Structure 1
């Protein structure tokens, strides 16, 4: 999803929340205030958190495929070039750019360089086993069996955690949808009572508090959702190697 679509979706959601606030309060001031606050909150806080989550998940999958493919491919053909090509086949755009920038290096040097991208203990263990194999020989697949089992376990645990978090996110959003439905029921189901209620400063304050609490809880949940994942692979922004 490109940036334009992301911001368009945020704008639509912000206007939708503003419209609901306007329906509940019959005030354009509430419409503008709620829409503006949600646009800022979703843009400056929620969006970066979910982008961080998406990047971490992408790198987790990339790391699993890279290490697993390299070991399996090298064990079958005993060629560093073919193993490296096989492990690089499913790289994302960021990793592909990094790989292009280190093409002048030999394969072991490329693997060492990628340690700054796959910044985790499992990739460091893979490098240690690979260098041990270079020095002492043997069967790379045999000495890496424990590592392959571990990265598979972490990958499966990450996928299970991801499914559980998405389920919790769905439940969280449904809870707030039901809360909004209650307000809308007051607006249209009890129209006579509502006409007098909407003139009450206490009721208007309640609407403001409701949407404010909704936005704050959304930011907090986004933070917990983004940070609760297993960190198999993480890495900073990289520059091309000279």
Structure 2
């Protein structure tokens, strides 16, 4: 419902601006409809997928870090798994409840279907090697832990940069649309003679087409994360 209201509000604002710019109801309605369909069906999906992947990646990093640390101290799969999942919530908690009837190692393997990242696949390989040969699990996982820290730092930087670029993008287009509104009302006597004319309609259509393309490119760029789901999602 929240996404529906946001999509409707954005499309309504764009439609209103389209009418102010062109003076044509049909152009305004077309802009409103196109923007609503785009935000509700495409933008919503992209943002949701990005946020879900970001959250899941954070859960994966936390799980692996806590598990390895606890395993190095306790030496018990059960205790390490419990400590690594004690603060689970949301979808991760639902997954854990779904597999609580399985043995501990089976649960760890099953989570490879939830944590579809290379770092978790590496973690499973290290755990298998540890069970077969023994040794210091933290030493065995040193490279993995370094990679996890690198990914975490990169994701923080990328998310911060995305927020800043988004604000810059919004400010730029607010200024652009503000100029259009100023011309519309500041030069009303001149502009009113052009309203509903072919040139104004074409210019308005072009402006909002460019805006939509810019939004599309920005969403695709800002929702791209430095960690992606891999094909290693079957239990090894």
TM-score, reference length from structure 1 = 0.89
Out of 117-126 and 177-186, give the one that drifted further. 117-126
Whether 1:219 aligns to 2:216 is yes
The aligned residue for residue 122 of structure 2 is 125
Provide the alpha-carbon RMSD of the alignment: 2.1
- Residue 130 of structure 2 contacts residue 137 of structure 2 at CA under 8 Å; is this kept in 1? yes
TM-score, reference length from structure 2 = 0.91
The aligned residue for residue 79 of structure 2 is 82
The aligned residue for residue 53 of structure 1 is 50
Distance (Å, rounded) in 2 between the aligned partners of 1:206 and 1:232: 40
Cα 1:51–1:88 shift into 2, 3 Å: same
The aligned residue for residue 227 of structure 2 is 231
The aligned residue for residue 136 of structure 1 is 133
Cα 1:234–1:92 shift into 2, 3 Å: farther
Once the 2 structures are TM-superposed, how far is the Cα of residue 199 of structure 1 from its aligned partner? 4.4
Matches of residues 29-40 of structure 1 in structure 2 within 5 Å?
Answer: 29-40=26-37
Distance (Å, rounded) in 1 between the aligned partners of 2:115 and 2:76: 22
Cα 1:66–1:235 shift into 2, 3 Å: farther
Report the number of matched residues: 234
- Residue 187 of structure 1 contacts residue 194 of structure 1 at CA under 8 Å; is this kept in 2? yes
The aligned residue for residue 160 of structure 1 is 157
Of 9, 14, 19, the match for 1:12 = 9
Once the 2 structures are TM-superposed, how far is the Cα of residue 233 of structure 1 from its aligned partner? 4.8
Q: Which runs of 5+ in 1 are unaligned?
A: 238-242
Of 185, 204, 208, the match for 1:207 = 204
Once the 2 structures are TM-superposed, how far is the Cα of residue 234 of structure 1 from its aligned partner? 6.3
Q: Which runs of 5+ in 2 are unaligned?
A: none
CA displacement, residues 168-218 of structure 1 (integer Å, 9 cap, x when unaligned): 222222221111011001111111211122243101210011112211221
Q: Which runs of 4+ in 1 moved over 4 A?
A: 232-237
